[in-house]
Structure 1
Amino acid sequence: MRADARRNYERLLAEAKSAFEQHGTQASLDDIARQAGLGNATLYRHFPTRESLLETMLRDSLKELGDTAEELMATDPPGEALATWVRAAVAHATLYRGLVTMLMESLKDEASDLNCACTAMQSSGRLLLERAQLAGEARQEVTANGLFTLIASAAWAREHAPEDSDQVLTVLIDGLRPRP
């Protein structure tokens, strides 16, 4: 990439981060380009869709979430590893207002630019869940899809009802444990 194109790319990412932090994932892409001092054609040349922009912005943090899963599998007891990772996944899904909805939609849309990254994240969670189930530390009837629906629900609560979000997350994690 040429030096000027690289500078434009970096400015767009910096402005997108700021806009998403302030206005959520539905922030105006035209405003992002304008704040970066660029035309919207430049933004769309680098990031043809909102999802491609988000995927680029989230690439490192999603990889870290996968790395965290691998580390937890190697170091923590299965149930504890799953609980720790669920907390991290909920926190990640609420980096920007509206992100949890986009992440869940991308899991259903193979054409979405976020799909591959979200599928990899889901795979990490599935491995942690299966490991906890094999150890008898997670309910057998919970599926990977169910786990992600629960994570999305807790992320929604964190975004829309922050005063209750800790309680929701605690109940979610307690509910993953097998019944006595």
Structure 2
Amino acid sequence: MQTRPIRADARRNRDLLVTAAMAVIAEEGPDASLNEIARRAGVGPGTLYRHFPTRDALLAAVSEGRLARLRARADELAEAMPPGEALVAWLRLLVVHAMTDRGLGARMMVAAPSSAGVDCWAMLRDAAERVLGPAQRDGSVRADVEAADLVELAAGIAQGAADAGRAERLLMLTLDGLRLAGGRAEGFSPRS
């Protein structure tokens, strides 16, 4: 059975809705008004519900886009920097991401992938593995660190930090714990 291609106007409306949802959720959090999202997208509520029959479906689309960008950045950093530096740079991005999502990430992490259509936890682990593996192979990071550890540490920092300065300090302390015993590994500087 063939799937019908999405019409250009339907694709445009969907993109407008996701963009508007990103903005409104950044201001109001994941419980933001769906009517306000539709209004900012310039479409009616019926159009919103045709594309996203549930709030979780809309939140999944927003999360998927944000997480895809984090994964792409992990790849870019891994290619452009030494492994330890790429890991530090990506962890900074992850902490900022978690600090600015206004509870969206936490909500989507507990949503079942089948109900939301997106497995946020798997997407984050995959992105983390893209920078963690090379850093472990070159000896910058302890071998017992797991991708899930990085995601949970970054989420904890974001949740616990009162501001960006405090988040940076907590990240630096965390990075000290990730390094190999015996000092700084080559290419892995917490100030990278």
TM category, shorter: 0.7 to 0.9
Q: Secondary structure at the match of 2:117?
A: coil
Determine the structure 1 residue equivalent to 2:69.
64
Q: CA contact under 8 A between 2:63 and 2:108: conserved in structure 1?
A: no
In the alignment, structure 2 segments of 5+ residues that lack a partner are 1-5, 183-192
Determine the structure 2 residue equivalent to 1:102.
107
Q: Secondary structure at the match of 2:100?
A: coil
Determine the structure 2 residue equivalent to 1:28.
33
Which of 47, 54, 70 lines up with 1:49 in the alignment? 54
Determine the structure 2 residue equivalent to 1:114.
118
Alpha-carbon shift at residue 103 of structure 1 (Å): 4.3
Alpha-carbon shift at residue 131 of structure 1 (Å): 1.9
Determine the structure 1 residue equivalent to 2:186.
none
- Quote the Cα distance in structure 1 between the aligned partners of 2:98 and 2:20: 20
- Quote the Cα distance in structure 2 between the aligned partners of 1:164 and 1:68: 24
Q: How many residues align?
A: 175
Q: CA contact under 8 A between 1:157 and 1:168: conserved in structure 2?
A: no
> Equivalent pairs: percent with the same residue?
38
Determine the structure 2 residue equivalent to 1:91.
96
Give CA-to-partner distance per residue, 1:13-43, whole Å, 9 cap, x none.
Answer: 3432332121012212244235556543331
Alpha-carbon shift at residue 151 of structure 1 (Å): 1.5
1:4/1:124 CA distance change after superposition, 3 Å:
closer
Alpha-carbon shift at residue 77 of structure 1 (Å): 1.7
Q: CA contact under 8 A between 2:63 and 2:105: conserved in structure 1?
A: no
What amino acid maps onto 2:171 in structure 1?
Answer: L
The TM-score, its normalising length taken from structure 1, stands at 0.78
Note the 1:75-90 alignment, pairs <5 A: 75-90=80-95
What amino acid maps onto 2:122 in structure 1?
Answer: T
The TM-score, its normalising length taken from structure 2, stands at 0.74
| Farther off after superposition, 78-87 or 122-131 | 122-131
